[in-house]
Structure 1
Amino acid sequence: MEYALAIDGAPETIPGGTGILLLHPSIGETDRIDTDFLKVDTDAFLVVSTRTTAREVEQKLDYYDVDESKATILDTLSVERGYSRRSAENVHYVAAPEDLDGVVERVERFLADTEGKRRVSVDSLTEMAYYADEDETYEAAAAMVDLLADHDAVGVFHLSKEVHDEATIDRFRGLFGGVVDLGEDGSVSVDF
């Protein structure tokens, strides 16, 4: 299955099973790329949020005019921080951001329970590594990329260039079929 990709300089389409690494300097600039990725050519998408709550993800989707009826959100923060949790059919929780097994299991369940063109956004690997550690995060990312291939889905995985050294970035880069590198000035370079 081919998926349309609305990112300047990237191929017009990518095959199912492709994971994309989104390298970024600061968090603010990622929303535009992330929501453009989720908006097009998709039947269902999952946002794995280790950085913001489900409510904040919903606000972002609404602000960027993304069809929320296609969204499932995995909130990894609210339980640990003691925030109130809104139970909804499309919002799920894991106990803590470092519960990477729980995150991978939820990604697998989403892909198994949905059909058609599916996209996954993981925001962010950097936060996962902060709460767990880099090796565990790498293993979880590898598992999720494998799940994308198994289910003919595509995904984008956020990683901050400000936090990780070149060796770590290169290690993660090796997992993905494409890299979108967001510059400080908002410029985008891509490597597929």
Structure 2
Amino acid sequence: MDYALAVENTPNSIPGGTGLLLLHPSTGETDRIDTDFLNTDTDYILVISTRTTAREVEQKLEYYGVDRGKTEILDALSIERGYSRRSGKGIHYVSSPDDLDGIVRETRKFLERHDGNKLRVSVDSVTEMAYYADDDRAREAVKELLELLKEHDAVGLFHLAEEVHDQDVVTAYCDLFDGIITLDENGNVEGEF
């Protein structure tokens, strides 16, 4: 199954099972790329948020016109920060951004629940996972998530703030992915597939 890709300077489509790494500056405006990726040619969406709360994700989705009715949010931040959990349709929680087993488990549940459909997953962000856990554990979790995408013919976009990590760490992450999308400080986008 192929998926349309509505991100500038990238192929028009990618096959199911593809994982994309979004390299960006830590202050980069990634919402446009993320929501263009999510909003195209899909049945169900999972947004894994280790950087913002479910409420902030909902605001972003609404602003960019992403269909909330087919979107589930996995909030890894609210419990850790002691925020009240705003339960709602399609909002799930894990205890913290370093609960990598929980993130993988909830992603597997989402993919199994909607198996056979066009499924997109956004992970925002791998940098936060590595900050709370460590690079080795975060990289293992990313590998598990990529395997799940392949198993369920889904596609995923994983955010990584490039300058926060040593170059060898960035290279090790890049090696895991089928495609790299780079957003520079001026907002220019380049794809390498």
Q: TM-score range by the shorter chain?
A: over 0.9
2:164 aligned counterpart, secondary structure: coil
Once the two structures are TM-superposed, the CA of residue 26 in structure 1 deviates from its matched residue by 2.7
Q: 1-side partners of 2:183 and 2:97: how far apart?
A: 25
The one-letter code sitting in structure 1 at the alignment partner of 2:12 is: E
| Structure 2 portions without partners, runs of 5+ | none
Alignment match, 1:163: 164
Q: 2-side partners of 1:26 and 1:164: how far apart?
A: 11
Please give the root-mean-square deviation of Cα atoms over the aligned residues, in Å.
0.8
Once the two structures are TM-superposed, the CA of residue 89 in structure 1 deviates from its matched residue by 2.9
Q: 2-side partners of 1:190 and 1:44: how far apart?
A: 24
Q: 1-side partners of 2:28 and 2:55: how far apart?
A: 17
2:180 aligned counterpart, secondary structure: strand
Alignment match, 1:67: 67
The Cα offsets for residues 76-97 of structure 1, whole Å up to 9 and x where unpaired, read as 0111211111222300000111
Alignment match, 1:112: 112
Identify if the C-alpha distance between structure 1 residues 28 and 166 changes in structure 2 by more than 3 Å, giving closer, same or farther. closer
Question: Segments of 4+ in structure 1 off by > 3 A?
Answer: none
Alignment match, 2:132: 131
| Structure 1 portions without partners, runs of 5+ | none
Alignment match, 2:96: 96
Q: TM-score, normalised by structure 2?
A: 0.97
Q: TM-score, normalised by structure 1?
A: 0.98
Alignment match, 1:144: 145
Q: 2-side partners of 1:45 and 1:113: how far apart?
A: 12
Q: 2-side partners of 1:50 and 1:66: how far apart?
A: 19
The one-letter code sitting in structure 2 at the alignment partner of 1:137 is: A
May I ask how many residue pairs the two structures share in their alignment? 192
The 5-angstrom pairing of residues 28-39 of structure 1 reads 28-39=28-39
Alignment match, 1:187: 188
